[in-house]
Amino acid sequence: MRARDKNQYIATANQLHDGAVVYFTGKYWSQDIEQSFVTWDSDFLLKLAEETIEKENLISLEAAKIDENDPSISPISMREKIKAAGPSINY
C-alpha cells in the first residue's frame, strides 16, 4: 500500500470549445473551484477524472495541489492561482 501523500489535490482541466478552466467535483465538472472534489490521492483523482474527460470535451487534465490550511479551496502554485482567478487581461 502506498503511503498517503502530504498534499491535498483537486483536478483541473480546460473546456475544449472556449478554454474555460473547470474543476472535477467527483461526478461532473464545474467552473466553481469551491465545488472541487478534494483528496490526498492524486493518482486516484486523475483516474476518476479521466473517465469523464473525453465525453465532456476537456483537455489538459492536471492534479493541482491546494493549501490545506485555507478554509476555501486555494491552489498553491502561481499558475493554478492565475487560472482560478480567471483571465489576466480584459478581452
pLDDT in tens, 14-49: 999 999 999 999 999 999 999 999 999 999 999 999
Write out the three cell numbers for 72. 476555501
- The answer as to whether 45 is a domain residue is yes
pTM: 0.86
Distance CA 29, CA 11 (A): 9
- The answer as to whether 51 is a domain residue is yes
Q: Identify the pLDDT of residue 91.
A: 61
- The answer as to whether 3 is a domain residue is no
- The answer as to whether 26 is a domain residue is yes
Look at the block and give the residue holding cell 474543476.
23
Domain extent, residue 75, equals 8-85
- The answer as to whether 2 is a domain residue is no
* Whole-number Cα distances in Å, 72 to 12, 62, 83, 89: 16, 20, 16, 25
Beta carbons within 8 Å of 9's beta carbon, 6+ residues apart: 38, 39, 40, 41, 42, 45, 63, 64, 65, 66
Residues 62-82 have pLDDT tens digits of: 999 999 888 889 988 888 888
Identify the residue with better confidence: 89 or 38.
38
- The answer as to whether 67 is a domain residue is yes
- The answer as to whether 91 is a domain residue is no
User: Would you place residue 2 in the very low, low, confident or very high pLDDT band (cuts 50, 70, 90)?
Assistant: low
User: How many folded domains does the chain comprise?
Assistant: 1
